[in-house]
Structure 1
Amino acid sequence: MGREKTVLVVGGGTSGNALTVLLRRAGIAVDLVEAKDDWNVRGSGITLQGNALRVLREIGVWEEIRAHGFCFDSVGLTAPDGTVLHINEDLRTGGDDLPATLGMQRPVLQRILTDAVRASGARVRLGTTAESITQDGTGVTVRLSDGTEHRYDLVVAADGLNSTTRAAVGIDDRPTPTGMAIWRVQAPRPAEVTRTDLAHGGPCHIAGYTPTGPDTLYAYLVEPHRDRAAIPPENYAREMSRLAEGYGGAWDEIRASITDPAQVNYTWFDQLLVEGSWHRGRVVLVGDAAHCCPPTLAQGAAMALEDAWVLAQLLTGAADWDDELLTRYHERRIERVRTVVEASVRIGQWQLDGVRGDLPGLMGTTMAALKELP
């Protein structure tokens, strides 16, 4: 019997948590370190499409996800006044036995995943970062911010868009702003909201909402990005409510609930696609550390979950974790991720340029490609 392999996962977000559970199920020893003391349990809402749900089912949390989320199979395109212009029936990209889309509160998703990590037997260190990484031909030595030093067969950088691990191993790619930003808020769900509806035009480029449970939704407004320092956080609710005045239909009820600035989030959109190899030696990137895009197709979490699934398949199916294996991981992911990143950025650019692009066509073509297994 060979020596038990060991992995350090840096970052306890969606991809890091998913990978940890999948590797532990195969009997691989995993340490997970997360910089935030609270394991980053925050945020408003998240949209998970079928290909994301397929991975969550593999992790073993689908039934709990379904119980806490809101499933639907279409997206509505509306005028700013709320008039429905087109209803697009979504493809079930995870297969016919899963819904096309599920909305849920982001903190609930994080709690479900962190509970699964705890139950897997992984060793978790919160409020901890990887301070130095030194590798050779047989493994990686990592000094953590708690002063301890450990040796691993593989280190996985799942530490997000501004990954310090990515930079530490000499991958110089950095995220760049797309020129757009988003206001997000959790709110009570009006009874008539049973799917995502998107309005293009009005005071913002995009106004949308997604049901996240029996009584909740998250609403969002997309506009050209502004200097965040010029918007005091205590004014966030007032500013989002002001922008929402340009939208009718369900927005009338949603707008009335936007009163607490602490519940409103304002974030710029960024894009990133690491074009070259996603690994250096025995350190490999997953999720936002390797790629990110505007949420115009709601595929960010799905791509991160797929990364974890594919990497876990390769690691658990091979005796040797060598350069060839990690190269195969990149080859299986790069074109699929590129399709999503480029389509997501294109939709945003149409809005910035005032171009009436074929939104239903681009969404349909992209989703059709994602129905195939990664």
Structure 2
Amino acid sequence: MDQSVHRVWPYREVEVFTSRELEKQLAVLSESELRVLVVGAGIAGTTAAQLLRSSGIRPVLVDGTGPDANAGYMIALMPMVDAAIKQLGARGAYQDGSTRMDRYRVLSHRGTALRQDSLAALLAEYGQYRGLSRAALLDALSVGGCDVAWHTRVSSLAESGAGVAVTFETPDGGRAADFDVVIIADGIHSATRRFVPGGRSPQTTVTGWGGWVSWAPADAEPDLGEELWGDGFFVGSYPVKGAVGAFIGGPRADLADGPSAFVDRIRNALTASTPRLRRVLEAMDAAEDPFFWVLDDVRTDRWATGRTVLLGDAAAGFLPTAGIGAGMAIESAWVLCNTLTGAAPGGVAERLARYEAAQKPRVEAAQSNSRQLARLMFRRSTLLAHVRNTAMRFVSVDVALAPIRKLLDEPAVIPSAGVD
């Protein structure tokens, strides 16, 4: 079968090709001033490949899964992604596939509303906070077409001063090729990271929590994000285009009986509710095989090792607590690709070192903020829940998002190229 069409809910329609797609991409590799391999066609990898293509470089983009894999979860993006979206010429597709998230409401551990804040006012000087599904984001990033060799894995990687020798495993057998630079962006559980020194022993934060993602119908508050921080559970709901993305989570030991049983546990803990919360719990109760999200993160000691570089979750995988992981992945891809633009093959190592020095501290600061929030959210303590409720009545979202505002106040900088 040469190709078929799959629909991944919501929004994503993609074409699946055999491993001839890899041959097609390799055939034009020599036409590029820089031979680049991007491993992973998720958010970071797709952004990187498309940005390189927009600059005239013709990277090879491979992914070990297929495009009909689970589309995943909902995403909220801060304005830090705007530069990359603009450079890709994807502003229209991004706007059309997403919706503004202008308000944030937080509920007590028993379901009563504690406060509601305006995100639009908070972010007015920077841009918009927008919600969309992961599938819709990949569609926007792929506007105009995005060649991917699916079901293609890196089986070995050997770096030398002259380049990187890579072998691939495809459904039709093995294949080998040489590259000037390899961008490893195959996710928090990266299979390729093990080939480079900095990725062999990543540091992992194990929260012990996890949860399910489901989709509820759009409601009368399409600009509202709502969160309930419970004592041993969490419920979050976030607007996407035409729907509401919902997440319920808790200690993984409490989730063994499945989402319906955990929804019952949450309902039994509530003394109040909002219309949104009721609809979200109903949607989760009715969901068939919802996506399960393990709430752990990863941090690697080194990103760049001469001619290879880790990107996105492969470098620093975020907890979702600050809602900034996807935004940082897109921003990092933008910084990396603009740092590489114009590089000679012999100058790759210097460019990658400059990129890591500029972007790694920024990403890790944002990751640390997510970890701090996790220590507040992922707890089972009624006393702490009461203390947290009292604090939330007086602490605005402006204060809570101060570290993110700092990132927006001091935007990412593309490091100078130096001399190749």
- Into which bin does the TM-score normalised by the smaller protein fall? 0.7 to 0.9
Asked if 1 retains the 8 angstrom alpha-carbon contact of 2:216 and 2:279, the reply is no
Q: 2:48 matched to which residue of 1?
A: 19
Give 1:92 shift. Answer: 8.0
SS of residue paired to 1:47: strand
Write the letter of the residue equivalent to 1:286.
L
1:330 aligns with 2:322: no
1:166 to 183, 188, 193: 193
Deviates more, 1:47-56 or 1:351-360: 351-360
After superposition, the Cα gap between the structure-2 partners of 1:280 and 1:181, relative to the gap in structure 1 and judged at 3 Å, is same
After superposition, the Cα gap between the structure-2 partners of 1:210 and 1:337, relative to the gap in structure 1 and judged at 3 Å, is same
1:33 to 48, 62, 65: 62
2:104 to 58, 75, 79: 75
Give matches, 1:46-61, under 5 Å.
46-61=75-90
Deviates more, 1:336-345 or 1:192-201: 192-201
1:189 to 218, 230, 235: 218
Q: 1:154 matched to which residue of 2?
A: 181
Identity %: 27
After superposition, the Cα gap between the structure-2 partners of 1:9 and 1:337, relative to the gap in structure 1 and judged at 3 Å, is same
Write the letter of the residue equivalent to 2:273.
G
Give 1:334 shift. Answer: 1.7
Write the letter of the residue equivalent to 2:365.
T
1:102 aligns with 2:126: no
Unaligned runs of 5+ in 2: 1-30, 413-420
CA displacement, residues 245-291 of structure 1 (integer Å, 9 cap, x when unaligned): 636102122323334443522222112222x3311221110000000
Q: 1:209 matched to which residue of 2?
A: 237
Q: 1:140 matched to which residue of 2?
A: 164
Instruction: Report the RMSD for the aligned CA atoms in angstroms.
Output: 2.6
1:296 to 307, 321, 330: 321
Give 1:3 shift. Answer: 6.8
After superposition, the Cα gap between the structure-2 partners of 1:270 and 1:359, relative to the gap in structure 1 and judged at 3 Å, is farther
Give 1:95 shift. Answer: 7.3
After superposition, the Cα gap between the structure-2 partners of 1:160 and 1:316, relative to the gap in structure 1 and judged at 3 Å, is same
Asked if 2 retains the 8 angstrom alpha-carbon contact of 1:186 and 1:263, the reply is no
1:131 aligns with 2:155: yes
Deviates more, 1:307-316 or 1:183-192: 183-192
Q: 1:265 matched to which residue of 2?
A: 291
SS of residue paired to 2:322: coil
Q: 1:45 matched to which residue of 2?
A: 74
After superposition, the Cα gap between the structure-2 partners of 1:19 and 1:41, relative to the gap in structure 1 and judged at 3 Å, is farther
CA displacement, residues 90-109 of structure 1 (integer Å, 9 cap, x when unaligned): 3789874731x111122222
1:368 aligns with 2:413: no
Unaligned runs of 5+ in 1: none
Asked if 1 retains the 8 angstrom alpha-carbon contact of 2:183 and 2:308, the reply is yes
SS of residue paired to 2:94: helix
Matched residues in 2 for 1:157 and 1:210: separation?
30
Matched residues in 1 for 2:58 and 2:378: separation?
47
Give 1:33 shift. Answer: 0.6
Asked if 2 retains the 8 angstrom alpha-carbon contact of 1:277 and 1:327, the reply is no
1:307 aligns with 2:336: no
CA displacement, residues 55-104 of structure 1 (integer Å, 9 cap, x when unaligned): 223222221121121112332222356543223333789874731x1111
Q: 2:16 matched to which residue of 1?
A: none
After superposition, the Cα gap between the structure-2 partners of 1:289 and 1:54, relative to the gap in structure 1 and judged at 3 Å, is same
Q: 1:239 matched to which residue of 2?
A: 262
Deviates more, 1:43-52 or 1:236-245: 236-245
Q: 1:64 matched to which residue of 2?
A: 93
TM-score normalised by L of structure 1: 0.87
SS of residue paired to 1:175: strand
Q: 1:254 matched to which residue of 2?
A: 280
Asked if 2 retains the 8 angstrom alpha-carbon contact of 1:177 and 1:270, the reply is yes
After superposition, the Cα gap between the structure-2 partners of 1:142 and 1:80, relative to the gap in structure 1 and judged at 3 Å, is same
SS of residue paired to 2:411: coil
Deviates more, 1:134-143 or 1:354-363: 354-363
Q: 2:310 matched to which residue of 1?
A: 285
